[in-house]
Every structure is written in C-alpha cells, then in structure tokens.
Amino acid sequence: RNEERLVRARWLMVGLVVSTGTMLAARVAERVRITGPSMEPVLRDGDRVLVNRLAYLLRRPRPGEVVLARVSTVPGGVTVKRIAAVEGSGHLILLGDNRAQSTDSRHFGAVPPRAVLGACGIATGRHSDVGACRDQPYTPRQLRPPAVAPRRALPRPPGLL
C-alpha cells in the first residue's frame, strides 16, 4: 500500500513539473507564422519564428533587431518587422526588409516600446535557415546617407596654366 502511494506521488510530481514547464514555455516563447512578403528575403511567407517574450525585460529594443509588435491598424493586430531607428521621444520606427511590399511605420507611424511583444530569435520553415532572424540585410549605419568621397584635384592638361 505504501508503494502505491509512493508511485502515485511520483506521478503527481511529474505531472506538476510537466504542466508548470508547459505554462512557463507558453509565457516565455511564442511561435508565429509569417504572412506576406514584407520581410523578404530574410523571412518569407509561411516561415515560422520563435519569439522570445522575455528579451526586453532587462534592456530596450535596439535598431536592427526583428521584433513582434502589437499594431492595431494591421490585420491580426500584430506584425513582425525590423527596428530601423528610435525616435527622439523613445518611439520605435519599424520597417519591413522588403520596403516595396511592407505595411510598416511609414503607414502606421512609430510605436511605443511597450508595443513590442518580443524579439524574433529562431526562424524555421521551408524558405529560411535556422536563426535567420539574426541576419541583417541593413544596419542602422546604412540608413544614413552614404558619405561623399572628397574630390581630388584633376591633373591639368599640358600647355594650360
């Protein structure tokens, strides 16, 4: 009889550990399906990304990172975009990598940092390699106008002063 109680207690403990782990995993990470071409070529329609919901508990989102953000004006209410810049007031400019086919901050404006739900960490799918969210087709430095090389004096043709 004591052995039966011990076995039941162990199974109860295993069940508690598994259910607690499942609930924590659901709060820490979320799997999101990419819809549309706005993040091509890094993320394509049908790819799935794992979003780390704890990424910004201790630090602010940075330019160049791919994030999941709550935006009420887009279908579904959430969007996956890259942080292009931080406005002076602390709001974030979100842009799709495929500018020609992206509904982003150019349409819905800058978003507050609290609208960011998490950082996209791992991408999987038929089109993306694992970890594709870390690839950056541009960096914040590339958003600035290119530096103009200083002009060099041209040599004078012979016979001219």
- Is 42 exposed, middle or buried (CB count within 10 Å of its CB: 0-12, 13-18, 19+)? buried
> What is the C-alpha separation between 66 and 49, in angstroms, rounded?
10
Q: What is the amino acid identity at position 117?
A: L
pTM for the predicted model, two decimal places: 0.69
First-residue to last-residue Cα distance in the chain = 113
The pLDDT tens digits for 18-67 are 888 777 766 677 888 999 999 988 888 888 898 989 889 889 999 999 99
The pLDDT tens digits for 102-119 are 999 999 999 999 999 999
Tell me, rounded to whole angstroms, the distance of Cα 30 from its chain centroid: 12
Mean pLDDT to the nearest integer, 87-97: 90
